[in-house]
Amino acid sequence: MKCPFCDYPESKVVDSRPTDEGQAIRRRRECIRCGKRFTTYEKIEEVPVMIVKKDGNRQVYDRNKIMNGIIKACEKRPVPMNVIEKMVDDIEKAIFNSLEKEITSKEIGEMVMTKLKDVDEVAYVRFASVYRQFKDVNSFLDELKKLLDDNE
């Protein structure tokens, strides 16, 4: 690791500790030449996942898009932010643990709907109405009937 003060290429690790719930390691280093200390972070390199949209276009995975969709569905509902973050974390883990380089937006939408169904049924129906692009009241009622049948 190159020293940010004198550009010397060698340093020694003085202290290491985990951060971000074990997702990274913080290292305090000391330059062999000038003796100054600096901090580095070591993280797992993540391979970018591409999202295949309905029209065939591809976009790089963006956690914020899932988060914003769930927040919008849960607006004015009694769903705490930590529950929303946990849903997004779980969905993100499923995406990256699949080891696929591409995943369809449809698959992600289904994951979101599954999570929302367990957390808040109104938020689930809100999300479903946008995600499934209900054309009329009958398609909306069909989704509600499915929800009611699942609860019986």
pLDDT tens digits for range 29-56: 999 999 999 999 888 777 789 999 989 9
Are β-strands 50-52 and 58-60 bridged in parallel, bridged antiparallel, or unpaired?
A: antiparallel
Question: pLDDT tens digits for 130-149?
Answer: 877 766 667 767 777 777 77
pLDDT at 135: 67
Q: For residue 56, report the phi and psi dihedrals to the nearest 5 degrees.
A: 95, -10
Q: What is the CA 141 to chain-centroid distance, rounded?
A: 31
pLDDT at 53: 93
> In the chain, where are the structural domains located?
11-43, 50-151
Report the C-alpha dihedral over residues 56, 62, 63, 66, rounded to 10 degrees.
Answer: -40
**Is it the case that residue 73 has pLDDT exceeding 80?**
yes
